[in-house]
Amino acid sequence: MQAFKICSSLFFFFILWNHIGYARHPFRVPDPMASQVTISCQGYKTCALSSNRLRTHPLFSYHTNDIIKRIIPSGPIAYRNKPTQSVTGVELSAITQQIVSTIIKERKGIRRAKKRRSFIILRDKNFNYNTLHGLVIFKLKKHPFVIKVFMETPKTFFEFRSTGFEPPFFFYMGGGANRFLTGLTRIENRDLIEQTINQMPRWKNRIEIPRKWFWLPNESRILHLVGTNIGGHKEIETSLPSTYAIIEDAIDLKNETVNLPKRKKLHMILELCNDLNIYVDPHPNNHVFIQGATPKQFKIALVDTEHFPTMAGMFQKVHFKNHKRWYSYLAYQYVSRMFLQTKQDIVALQTAPNDLAVNIPILKNTPVAS
């Protein structure tokens, strides 16, 4: 009797899980024309995901060559705030290599013996130490630089549920986006934001953006992505390194001004992000208000230049009145993408015009939609 109860509970759970979790009939036959992305890498088992939610951007927008174009130079790099001091790109690369080797060797153990380490872990909530994938962020103790390490394998590439709270949201909204893919937008978007801000008298002298460079390991495995029936392409492919990092100037968070009320900071952040078409995430942690020479002077440092429309699958310009509106917009986007779209809607999104693509100049944008 007990066994019967367990079996029937499992059966109903299976039916409900497919129904609620995936909006699928449990005995539905897979669609042979569905979009599919296959990922292979030497030394790993090839893995594939079949889903019409996948989109060519960001899955096929970047190639290893885009990383190589912006690789860290080998010569001296002056410290941002002390130009008389410098470190060579070769040394920063060697430190990054050492950190990556430590992650692979020690996994979660990297969090221990903090005093002995040459770095501080700033964020690892989107990194899975067991399967070694996601994003982990370090700050060096000896030099004023931050290192953001991105790792994936074919098996982990679409394992968005095992790297924290946010990645599932961005997977469904961003057409298969993960931290690894959106990390590739960080330098291109940084440059675009800098150019745009230089044309905006209001922000021109009030914003600081850390310099950023890509880093690749000495021996990099290559992920080969092949998409079929996706975004109007019968077949599309690209290749990316399975591990890469971004090395950037560290912003001293201790210099955050205490002279501005939180409400005022939030208001300014949203005004700036609205002016930038939300190309940066308006989350307050991404904006550091650095104290200037006098109590009234400050600059806003943008530490996170991930292209937000790529993460959230936004296609049209939207302005937000306050952070509450922005959060509710995201929640609505998630619910509607997840549960309120027909198969035709989902497929149509693959080729929908995108006014907020990372390579579209911000000032030349279309009218506000909200």
Ligand X SMILES: Nc1ncnc2c1ncn2[C@@H]1O[C@H](COP(=O)(O)OP(=O)(O)O)[C@@H](O)[C@H]1O
Q: Does 310 bind Mg ion (CB under 5 A)?
A: no
* Whole-angstrom Cα Rg for the chain: 22
Residue 38 phi, psi (nearest 5): -110, 135
Identify which of residues 188 and 306 has a Cβ nearer to Mg ion in the complex. Answer: 306
Neighbours of 112 (CB within 10 A): 9
Task: Find which of ligand X, Mg ion, none residue 250 binds, CB within 5 to 8 Å per kind.
Answer: ligand X
Task: Find which of ligand X, Mg ion, none residue 95 binds, CB within 5 to 8 Å per kind.
Answer: none
**What is the 8-class DSSP label of residue 18?**
I
Task: Find which of Mg ion, ligand X, none residue 325 binds, CB within 5 to 8 Å per kind.
Answer: none
Task: Find which of ligand X, Mg ion, none residue 61 binds, CB within 5 to 8 Å per kind.
Answer: none
User: What is the Cα–Cα distance from 228 to 237, expressed in whole angstroms?
Assistant: 9
Task: Find which of ligand X, Mg ion, none residue 153 binds, CB within 5 to 8 Å per kind.
Answer: none
Residues making up the chain, counted from first to last:
370
Under 8 Å CB-to-CB from 227, ≥6 apart: which residues? 35, 36, 37, 38, 54, 56, 59, 60, 233, 235, 236, 237
Task: Find which of Mg ion, ligand X, none residue 246 binds, CB within 5 to 8 Å per kind.
Answer: none
**What is the 8-class DSSP label of residue 71?**
B
Shortest distance, CB of residue 200 to ligand X, whole angstroms? 22
Q: Which residue has tokens 């279309």? A: 366
Q: Does 123 bind Mg ion (CB under 5 A)?
A: no
- Residues found near ligand X in the complex (CB under 6 A): 122-123, 126, 137, 146, 210, 248-251, 253, 285-286, 303-304, 306
- Nearest Cα to 128, choosing from 145, 144, 150? 150
CB 291 within 8 Å of CB 298: yes
Cα angle 35-40-45, degrees, rounded to a multiple of 5: 110
User: Given phi > 0 = left and psi -120 to 50 = alpha, else beta, which region is 247?
Assistant: beta
Q: Does 122 bind Mg ion (CB under 5 A)?
A: no
Shortest distance, CB of residue 131 to ligand X, whole angstroms? 18
Task: Find which of Mg ion, ligand X, none residue 134 binds, CB within 5 to 8 Å per kind.
Answer: none
Task: Find which of ligand X, Mg ion, none residue 277 binds, CB within 5 to 8 Å per kind.
Answer: none
Shortest distance, CB of residue 249 to ligand X, whole angstroms? 6
Identify which of residues 285 and 297 has a Cβ nearer to ligand X in the complex. Answer: 285
Shortest distance, CB of residue 279 to ligand X, whole angstroms? 14
Task: Find which of ligand X, Mg ion, none residue 159 binds, CB within 5 to 8 Å per kind.
Answer: none
Q: Does 275 bind Mg ion (CB under 5 A)?
A: no
Q: Does 182 bind Mg ion (CB under 5 A)?
A: no
Identify which of residues 52 and 305 has a Cβ nearer to Mg ion in the complex. Answer: 305
Q: Does 304 bind Mg ion (CB under 5 A)?
A: yes
Under 8 Å CB-to-CB from 163, ≥6 apart: which residues? 126, 127, 128, 133, 134, 135, 178, 179
Report the interhelical angle of 323-339 vs 262-275 (nearest 10°). Answer: 50
Shortest distance, CB of residue 367 to ligand X, whole angstroms? 29
Q: Does 286 bind Mg ion (CB under 5 A)?
A: yes
Shortest distance, CB of residue 138 to Mg ion, whole angstroms? 15
Q: Following DSSP, what letter does each residue of 255-282 receive, concatenated?
A: GB-SSS-HHHHHHHHHHHHHHTTT-S--
Q: Which residue has its beta carbon closest to ligand X?
A: 304
Shortest distance, CB of residue 146 to ligand X, whole angstroms? 4
Q: Which residue has tokens 């917009």? A: 329
Among positions 204-243, residues that touch Mg ion (CB under 5 A) are none
Token pair in block for residue 42: 């030497």
Shortest distance, CB of residue 79 to ligand X, whole angstroms? 13
Identify which of residues 229 and 326 has a Cβ nearer to ligand X in the complex. Answer: 326
Applying CB under 5 A, which residues contact Mg ion?
286, 304
